[in-house]
Amino acid sequence: NVQECINAVVNQSGLHNYEILVLDDESSDQTLSELRKFSSIKIIEGQPTPQDWLGKLWACHQLAEHSTGEYLVFLDADVRLSKNAISSALNSMQEWDFISPYPRQLTEGFLQRVFQPLLQWSWLASVPLILTYKFPIKSMTIANGQFFIVKKSAYLKSGGHFKIKGEVLDDLMLARQLITSGFRGSVAEASQVATCKMYNTNIELIRGYQKSLYKAFGNPIGIVFTLIILVLNGIVPIVAAMQGSNLALLAFVLIFLSRVFSSLRTGGIPSTALLHPVAVGLLIILIFYSWYGRLTKTLTWRDRNIIHG
């Protein structure tokens, strides 16, 4: 996994005077030996994760401390970049202080292909991005930590990962923290220049969403409101349409078309839009499952306990 990622970064075009820092976070596989094959990167052997930190955030914090560049480009190991991905993202920033290029999400198997497109559709359909491009609106902030670029000066002044060291939704919280600190930036659709395969198995998908969904919608009132909205736009239209409601059928068709548009825009599979009610039903189940894990303190990710912020 890390070899393909590093190869893509090493072969980036349009960049000058840059460094590649890679942190080995106490890996127990062959990651470190694979990293040592690259002469053009600087390997940082990660320190043990402190009690009140999440592992990924501690890794990002260490990388930022060792960096000397004007811009910080945070990249997950499962992201693959086109040759001009970073330079085009930097050019797109213009006057912004950060940008979150959203990779095309690669999927395999029925469950992933049905559920994963819901992720990008949710923000494409609900957040007026043109407003977030012009105005720093915290409540409309969207971000994806798979590929995240920020000016180092803004990162440090806002507190960086230190301020969010226990947050499972670190990407969103980092972006909101930057906005709150007076900096500007937003998400950007980047399916043409970056891809990411988040999960290899259905179990990984379930565990991955379980660890964070309990925090995704704020307080209990926000969760109840979200569940109502999900039922109204995902379940009610198809059920009512099957009972003969023309208005419900129109609602389902409009939602279906928005899902198709989202798939075409982000490199997804348009036909999965027909299974929107199934995807929403699964999301509702995962929200409850996430809260079950939170309340029973059994949330884990890749054999590591999740510390709650």
**Domain edge (last residue) among 175, 198, 221:** 198
Indicate if 194 and 88 belong to the same structural domain. Answer: yes
pLDDT at 295: 87
Residue 247 burial by Cβ neighbours in a 10 Å radius (0-12, 13-18, 19+)? exposed
**Chain-wide mean pLDDT for the chain?**
90
Give the model's confidence band at 309: pLDDT under 50 very low, under 70 low, under 90 confident, else very high: very low
Indicate if 25 and 61 belong to the same structural domain. Answer: yes
* pLDDT at position 244 over 90: yes
pLDDT at 164: 95
Name the residue range of residue 175's domain.
Answer: 2-103+144-198
Q: Name the residue type at position 35.
A: L
In a domain, residue 125? The reply is no
In a domain, residue 77? The reply is yes
In a domain, residue 134? The reply is no
* pLDDT at position 176 over 80: yes
Pick from 32-36, 205-209, 235-239: least confident: 32-36
Q: Output the CA–CA distances (angstroms, integers) from residue 218 to 9, 93, 207, 225, 290, in the order listed.
A: 35, 29, 20, 10, 13
pLDDT at 288: 94
Indicate if 148 and 226 belong to the same structural domain. Answer: no
- Across 223-235, average pLDDT: 92
pLDDT at 307: 52
* pLDDT at position 83 over 90: yes
pLDDT at 39: 85
> pLDDT > 70: what percent of the chain?
97
**Domain edge (last residue) among 179, 198, 217:** 198
Indicate if 297 and 152 belong to the same structural domain. Answer: no
Mode of pairing for the β-strands spanning 300-301 and 304-305: antiparallel
Digit-coded pLDDT (tens) for 109-150? 999 999 999 988 988 887 777 777 777 777 778 899 999 999
Indicate if 217 and 262 belong to the same structural domain. Answer: yes
- Across 50-75, average pLDDT: 94
- Across 63-82, average pLDDT: 95
Digit-coded pLDDT (tens) for 183-194? 999 999 899 999
Total domains present in the chain: 2
Give the number of other CB atoms < 10 A from CB of residue 259: 24
Digit-coded pLDDT (tens) for 9-34? 999 999 988 999 998 877 767 778 88
Digit-coded pLDDT (tens) for 213-223? 888 887 788 88
> pLDDT > 90: what percent of the chain?
63
Indicate if 153 and 262 belong to the same structural domain. Answer: no
Indicate if 38 and 152 belong to the same structural domain. Answer: yes
Tokens of 152: 């180092």
Tokens of 158: 């806002």
Q: Name the residue type at position 160.
A: G
Indicate if 164 and 211 belong to the same structural domain. Answer: no
Give the model's confidence band at 303: pLDDT under 50 very low, under 70 low, under 90 confident, else very high: low
Indicate if 178 and 210 belong to the same structural domain. Answer: no
